[in-house]
Structure 1
Amino acid sequence: MTGYALEEVKGRSCRFLQGPDTDPQQITEIQRALEQHHDITLTLRNYRKNGQAFWNNLFLSPVRGPDGQVTHFVGSINDISERRDHENALAFHATHDVLTGLGNRALFEDHLRHDVELARRHEQQLAVLFIDLDEFKPINDTLGHGIGDQVLINVARRLEQAIRPSDTLCRFGGDEFVLLLPDLDSPQQAEEIAERLLEALSLPYRIERHELYLSASIGIALNDQQLIQPEELLQQADMAMYKAKQQGRNTLQTFTQDINQKLTQRVTLRNDLQEAILNEQFELHYQPLLTIEGAVQGFEALVRWNHPIKGAISPALFIPIAEETGQIIALGQWVIERAARDFLTLQPQLPSHCRISVNLSPMQFHRPSF
């Protein structure tokens, strides 16, 4: 267990197994147990003869003579390094990402709570950056997850090299990374760091025989007096990142309350839109298509939404949402069927050459059933 022969250790104190990383507090506890004549069990870091560390489960107990006086101590040591290493590995994986070695969400949230409280106490500026890679999925799909994993490892290393030792960088899974920046000089410093990260991530990645290019969208959230829960910063940075995606990607966006209001409106509108599709709250308006001479050539079917509470909602608001959520498929189907029915009803009153035009979403052409 120790690497020493009997002749090398006979008569010596067990202190020769101690080393630079042995906890001095534990040494004090052992000394106190010896002085006060009581049992002690603890696990401490000891060293073999070759300098290799091992975890020693030490048990010491006094032996008393017939008169009750302590005559000597007996001790036993057990090498529990394998068990301790396994426990440490489990603890590490509970708070770290296996692929990159960065912290995970649990570690980030723990550091976030600590740093936000510290910033509040010392009136310091703090920022959270939500970093999402742009168009990473096609790399996995076309080149395989092995190449994709190597790209993520490279991304993690580049981000680590561009930040300070006091910053906390974590991976939330997939292609999402989150950075905690405590003790900033100003809000502008967070944007300067984000710009530096965008520049570092845009350099080519050489993985095996491939040369790949990536960009990222970064959302920034800054602490303020209105902050109630530290986790709000993470949500705000995520919303700002989504806004950066909408702006064309490869950019940064700092969170504002305006972003929050628009996203809240968006979520509400999406839910209302689903109810509107199920309950057929839409109607079609027919705009005449005229020749230069003013003769009616046909009609364009335009969908309108009359919300039972909010009234008329502009197509400029709900059509883009329907496009992004896929709800446009069901809405488009309803429009086509209603326009066809209306045309059959109106046909006897229309010239023979008259046609009804219906607007279609590009998404509909990607559906085999269309």
Structure 2
Amino acid sequence: MRSEHVEPLERTAIDAAPDGVLMVDAQGLILKANPAMEVLSGYSRAEMEGRSVNMFMPERMRAKHADLMAGYFVQPVARPMGLVRQLQLMRNDGTMVPVDIALGHCSVAGEPAAVVFIRDMTEVRRLQDDMQYQATHDSLTGLANRWMFGQHFEQAIQRANRSDRPLALLLLDLDDFKGINDAHGHAVGDQVLMEVARRLRGALRAGDVLSRLGGDEFTVLLPELPSLTHAQQVAEKLQRLLSAPCRLQGCEVSLGASIGLACYPSDAQDTETLMRYADMAMYAAKGRGRGVWAAYEPHMSQALAEKNQLHDRLKQAMDRGGLELHYQPQVAVAGGGIVGVEALLRWHDPELGPISPERFIPVAVRSGLIQTLGDWVLDTACRQSAHWARAGTPVRISVNLSAQQFRQTDLVDRLAQLMAQHGTQPDMLELEITETEAMADPDMAREVLLRLRALGVSIALDDFGTGYSSLSYLRLLPVSRLKIDREFTRHIMSRPDDATLVRAVIALAHTLGLPVVAEGVETEGQLRFLRQHHCEVFQGWLYAKALPADEVSAMLLAELLPGEADEATPRYA
């Protein structure tokens, strides 16, 4: 049978088809090929017709295909596309093209024939490969993404089980990456991430797995290690590589990373636990300073369990009224009278006993409870201030603002609402912000503080001397007084440098027209020093520790002279 036996209508339809079409007889000879098949195969129609369809297959596959074709003609059944994967067609130039086929059957001049539709899948395969790549790789750095890393991790654990060789997981988090974005913009931040990926990739073995989990967090999987010492050496090597600055878009950017290390099987035997342990180690490294690596140690799990317990108990205490404010008197150095109090948070847990703010405040910050906690403190202080005013013992209450509170967009509105709700006199409320927080963004700090001052409250700059204030900024901040950090006050009698700093802070404050409050005063000698250098106010255990509100109320009443209880005047320096 030859192509002329094909009916004219069939020939027209075949020639117009966008896919390659072949008509093949029972012996596998090509009766008809359409123009699309010429383009797909690189053969002319004359070169194809009359030859075996096996011409499009490598030599090794021809015998198997002949058997399949013979079977088809024994019981011909139409077959749609999509049933055969990874099918390829060999072109005239020897290159292979991914294709898909559909089969139909007919008769030509009374003899059985097959109609083969052949579709070029090159573009489809490319799109599929692109989609697969995007689903498994980070779009910025080209590294394996979180999902792909998880697949590699599971496989590495299985191989380690069979080979009995250890593996290690490194979790890397860039130091102060937010600062890079803030200072130079996100475009430079993206370049930094790409540079980090390049440095890490160049330092690892071919079989190691590097991924970007998201943000500025990377992981390195070190399978089949000769020893765990090798993992430590890799951590140190990566630390050195990332500590070198890089120059991007005309600016030099300092790099650095905190690295956590966990090992299989010595630390844990499953991926989830290893990941958690590496994360603990990484946070331990961050706690030790910039550019440090740390290996997981069992006590880290215990510390995390304690933090989780503190978080849960703290949340219960907040929900059930288990917190209270105590108030530490602020006392005039010259006259000895109470001129204000500082509100300090106290927590006595029924099971854990008294828990210091140094333990639970960091937990509240990390868990996000600090904003709710800070709002509760403001609410309680405003209520207490109004109560003391109604009792005839008005006294200024100082409240510490957390960094998170200070950055809340509704802080000013919320404070105004609380003061109106409780009837709090604005001049009886003082807000304390640390010097470090104020100097983190002086322009933003000035804007927020001016809005707070407009409510009538006063502002104290807390922990002065521990940060790096610029005098040009400091004089622009609407601050009512400076507070000297207790770490300097504590040692003014034994450390000449601290004594010099305290004298300088007092002199600076007075130059700016600001009174000074010294914290942590515990001895008569410290008080004499402050009096000698004209510090206005002190607070500390020399006078009183932080006390419950009712005890402070008794102290305030005791200070009133006979006949003044009905017309008490505000007590502030």
For structure 1, the residue ranges without an aligned partner over 5 or more in a row are: none
Match of 2:231 in 1: 190
Match of 2:260 in 1: 219
Question: Distance between the aligned counterparts of 1:273 and 1:313, measured in 2?
Answer: 10
Query: Radius of gyration: which is bigger?
Result: 2
Match of 1:303 in 2: 345
Match of 1:3 in 2: 42
Question: Distance between the aligned counterparts of 1:137 and 1:53, measured in 2?
Answer: 49
Superposed counterparts of 1:18-57, under 5 Å = 18=57, 29-34=64-69, 36=71, 42=84, 43-49=86-92, 53-57=96-100
Question: Distance between the aligned counterparts of 1:131 and 1:28, measured in 2?
Answer: 55
**Is the CA contact 2:246–2:253 (under 8 Å) kept in the aligned structure 1?**
yes
Q: In structure 2, what residue type is equivalent to 1:44? A: L
Match of 2:374 in 1: 329
- 1:346 deviates by 8.7
Q: 1:331 to 1:247 in 2, by over 3 A?
A: farther
Match of 2:354 in 1: 312
SS at 1:312 equivalent: strand
Q: 1:47 to 1:176 in 2, by over 3 A?
A: farther
Q: Does 1:122 align with 2:163?
A: yes
- 1:60 deviates by 6.6
Question: Distance between the aligned counterparts of 1:194 and 1:29, measured in 2?
Answer: 53
Question: Distance between the aligned counterparts of 1:225 and 1:242, measured in 2?
Answer: 20
Question: Distance between the aligned counterparts of 1:247 and 1:27, measured in 2?
Answer: 67
Superposed counterparts of 1:332-347, under 5 Å = 332-333=377-378, 336-337=381-382, 340=385
How high is the TM-score relative to the length of structure 2? 0.54
Q: In structure 2, what residue type is equivalent to 1:93? A: Q
Question: Distance between the aligned counterparts of 2:387 and 2:141, measured in 1?
Answer: 59
Q: 1:112 to 1:5 in 2, by over 3 A?
A: same
Question: Distance between the aligned counterparts of 1:4 and 1:115, measured in 2?
Answer: 48
In the alignment of these two chains, the number of paired residues is: 359
**Is the CA contact 1:343–1:356 (under 8 Å) kept in the aligned structure 2?**
no
Q: 1:178 to 1:29 in 2, by over 3 A?
A: farther
**Is the CA contact 2:210–2:220 (under 8 Å) kept in the aligned structure 1?**
yes
**Is the CA contact 2:172–2:258 (under 8 Å) kept in the aligned structure 1?**
yes
Question: Distance between the aligned counterparts of 1:141 and 1:57, measured in 2?
Answer: 52
- 1:241 deviates by 1.7
Question: Distance between the aligned counterparts of 1:44 and 1:247, measured in 2?
Answer: 57
Kindly provide the CA deviation profile for residues 140-166 of structure 1, in whole angstroms up to 9, marking residues without a partner as x.
344443333232222222211111111
**Is the CA contact 2:157–2:270 (under 8 Å) kept in the aligned structure 1?**
no
Relative CO higher for 1 or 2, CA cutoff 8 Å, sep ≥ 6? 1
- 1:2 deviates by 1.9
SS at 1:184 equivalent: coil
Question: Distance between the aligned counterparts of 1:36 and 1:45, measured in 2?
Answer: 21
Superposed counterparts of 1:1-370, under 5 Å = 1-14=40-53, 16-18=55-57, 29-34=64-69, 36=71, 42=84, 43-49=86-92, 53-58=96-101, 75-224=116-265, 227=268, 229-285=270-326, 302-324=344-366, 325=368, 326-327=370-371, 329-330=374-375, 332-333=377-378, 336-337=381-382, 340=385, 358=398, 360-361=400-401, 363=403, 366=407, 369=412
For structure 2, the residue ranges without an aligned partner over 5 or more in a row are: 1-39, 413-451, 453-573
**Is the CA contact 1:301–1:339 (under 8 Å) kept in the aligned structure 2?**
no
Q: 1:225 to 1:245 in 2, by over 3 A?
A: closer
Q: 1:49 to 1:249 in 2, by over 3 A?
A: farther
- 1:288 deviates by 6.4
Q: 1:149 to 1:341 in 2, by over 3 A?
A: same
> Which range moved further: 170-179 or 240-249?
240-249
- 1:126 deviates by 0.9
> Which range moved further: 323-332 or 191-200?
323-332
Question: Distance between the aligned counterparts of 1:257 and 1:222, measured in 2?
Answer: 12
Q: 1:323 to 1:107 in 2, by over 3 A?
A: closer
Q: 1:297 to 1:177 in 2, by over 3 A?
A: same
Question: Distance between the aligned counterparts of 2:62 and 2:256, measured in 1?
Answer: 53
Question: Distance between the aligned counterparts of 1:236 and 1:152, measured in 2?
Answer: 24
SS at 2:346 equivalent: strand
**Is the CA contact 1:323–1:361 (under 8 Å) kept in the aligned structure 2?**
no
Q: 1:246 to 1:261 in 2, by over 3 A?
A: same
**Is the CA contact 1:63–1:71 (under 8 Å) kept in the aligned structure 2?**
yes
- 1:356 deviates by 7.0
Q: 1:206 to 1:4 in 2, by over 3 A?
A: farther
| Percent of pairs with identical residues | 35
Q: In structure 1, what residue type is equivalent to 2:98? A: W
Aligned-residue Cα RMSD (Å) equals 3.9
Question: Distance between the aligned counterparts of 2:193 and 2:168, measured in 1?
Answer: 23
Kindly provide the CA deviation profile for residues 251-302 of structure 1, in whole angstroms up to 9, marking residues without a partner as x.
1122222212212322332233233234332234455678999967576654
**Is the CA contact 1:158–1:200 (under 8 Å) kept in the aligned structure 2?**
yes
Q: In structure 2, what residue type is equivalent to 1:311? A: G
How high is the TM-score relative to the length of structure 1? 0.79
> Which range moved further: 50-59 or 211-220?
50-59
Question: Distance between the aligned counterparts of 2:314 and 2:377, measured in 1?
Answer: 13
Q: 1:266 to 1:338 in 2, by over 3 A?
A: farther
Kindly provide the CA deviation profile for residues 197-234 of structure 1, in whole angstroms up to 9, marking residues without a partner as x.
22222333333333322211111111126745322212
Question: Distance between the aligned counterparts of 1:260 and 1:309, measured in 2?
Answer: 21
**Is the CA contact 2:153–2:271 (under 8 Å) kept in the aligned structure 1?**
yes
**Is the CA contact 1:301–1:356 (under 8 Å) kept in the aligned structure 2?**
no
Kindly provide the CA deviation profile for residues 319-368 of structure 1, in whole angstroms up to 9, marking residues without a partner as x.
333345434523542563466367559976xxx9xx77756245255555
Kindly provide the CA deviation profile for residues 69-124 of structure 1, in whole angstroms up to 9, marking residues without a partner as x.
x9886644221222222222222222222222222122111111111122122221
**Is the CA contact 2:103–2:117 (under 8 Å) kept in the aligned structure 1?**
yes
